[in-house]
Chain A
Amino acid sequence: MAARRQVIQSIAVLVGCLPALGLTIAFFTDGLGANPIEEITHETGEVALIALLLTLAVTPARKLFGWAWLAPLRRTFGLIAFSYACLHFLTYVALDYFFDLGAILEDVLERPFVTAGFTALCLMIPLAVTSTRAAIKRMGQRWVRLHRLVYLAAIAAMVHLFWGTKADYAEPIVFACILGGLLLTRVWFQRQRRAGAGPN
């Protein structure tokens, strides 16, 4: 079982590296268009959000379809999401603003769209830090409670996306519907459990 778990996680990590690899290759082959920094910012942000939604999709998929093998992917997806969120933020700090800390601070404090994104990133830090098996064991129930922050992080990321969007909301709406659906499954599971007929 441990071997299968490792194979599944390794595949997920490899797939998770593909967007970063693609961006790197595109960067060195002039494939990012006229405004490469903007392209890197958008891509890393989008991958972070997709990985975050995948993280939230693991448990519902496991429960609904009985796919127990999915379980270890929750952490892998979560860490991929966090990695891309960090890349997204680093792109903004290092490439876009070239460490102009005054301008960055002004953005974070005064522009709600940046504040929301920064909040999402900050909320993910304690989750990444406590993602080890040792931490799970040590923290017990407190770990479960702490990791509910992932819902807040996802909502903050969604707000960041909506407030950062100009006119065309087609893609954000698709992402928001998926997040909404994933959150609703939690409500549904909760009610099932209360009714004592939960699938868990």
Chain B
Amino acid sequence: MKSRGPLILSAPRILAREITDETLYLRRREFLYSAAVTAGTLALACGPGEVANAGNEPAAPAESGLGKIEKSAYAVDEPTTDFKDATTYNNFYEFGTDKEDPARHAGSLRTRPWSVAIEGEVGKPGVVAYEDLIKPHTLEERTYRLRCVEAWSMVIPWVGIPLGAILKRFDPTSKAKYVEFETLVDKEQMPGQRRNVLDWPYREGLRMDEALHPLAILAVGMYGRELPNQNGAPLRLVVPWKYGFKSIKSIVKIRLRETQPNTTWNDSAPREYGFFANVNPEVDHPRWSQARERRIGDFRRRPTLPFNGYEEVASLYRDMDLRKFF
């Protein structure tokens, strides 16, 4: 902050010590929450069970820990969403269904050691440690639009690896037509899974040509640092031309298949969430229009772009009726 001072002559002087430490700032809700829980406990004079939860650490911004990150040409020329907003407004039902729940509860997720099972139609199946999965690749920063099916959007600088590059290491067979992903299931680490809001584990899938498209990445970080737990640490999918729910978080299994996999939201409400789920302003959700979206931080809605502005993927769907295969 200090070094920027001279650039703006009229800027009010802010002393470094007056700026709230980021960690502290991110923990303010936790403070309120624990205060509320403590007050509630005192009032009810109940057991210590609930208080234990108040100690959940929301992911403190880790040191980068990612090593070398290359800038990529894939970067939208739009302002990125505030880090605070991107890490406190999340849909990650494994930690609760309110937008603030993941930031509040994801501290219980242990992201190391972590391994990913690679299964199905591959020449070299196996269980791979997170580090071994990442090591052979160069990390790239990709600033993508993220469009949620709920008609809000963000712009996020991800750090990741093209999904295709990772998949190819495991020698997909000629029968590999689809990729299926699964999130961790662990009620202890993911308290939202104690209720069957969705059919756990969370599952997502892509057609092979979608998975191999250079825009599709497996992300390990955002904003130049490791992924916060609430954003899908340690490893998540990012498919920027599809609605956010396709970009599955905290992946523990990748299975290549000949047939189209079942996917969680499609199973839960097939009329509302399709397998393809390409961002499409022409095809409305049954309960709201998809023509416009609110960029987080903006007041007015803005028009939603076909394929979220990534029209280079349109050729993947050349002969498909996107109203039918929504």
By the criterion CB–CB under 8 Å, are B198 and A35 in contact?
Answer: no
CB distance from B17 to the nearest CB of A (A): 21
A108 to B93, CA, bound (A): 29
By the criterion CB–CB under 8 Å, are A111 and B287 in contact?
Answer: yes
Known contacts A103-B289, A107-B289; is-contact A35 B195 (Cβ 8 Å): no
Residue of A with least CB distance to B89: A34
By the criterion CB–CB under 8 Å, are B89 and A103 in contact?
Answer: no
Is A189 an interface position by the 8 A CB rule?
no
Is B301 an interface position by the 8 A CB rule?
yes
Is B50 an interface position by the 8 A CB rule?
no
A33 to B297, CA, bound (A): 10
In A5-47, which residues have CB < 8 Å from any B CB?
Answer: 33-35, 37-38
Most buried by A among B195, B287, B292, B301: B287
A166 to B287, CA, bound (A): 10
Residue total for B at the interface (Cβ-Cβ under 8 A): 29
By the criterion CB–CB under 8 Å, are A97 and B100 in contact?
Answer: no
CB distance from A138 to the nearest CB of B (A): 42
Report, as a range, how many residues of chain A touch the other chain.
20 to 34
By the criterion CB–CB under 8 Å, are B294 and A106 in contact?
Answer: no
In B174-197, which residues have CB < 8 Å from any A CB?
Answer: 195, 197
Residues of A within 8 A of B (CB): 33-35, 37-38, 95-98, 100, 103, 106-107, 111, 113-114, 163-164, 166-168, 170
Q: Given A34-B297, A166-B97, 5 more contacts at CB 8 Å?
A: A33-B99, A35-B152, A107-B289, A164-B287, A167-B93
Residues of B within 8 A of A (CB): 82, 84-86, 88-89, 93, 97, 99-100, 150, 152, 195, 197-198, 268-269, 286-289, 291-292, 294, 296-297, 299-301
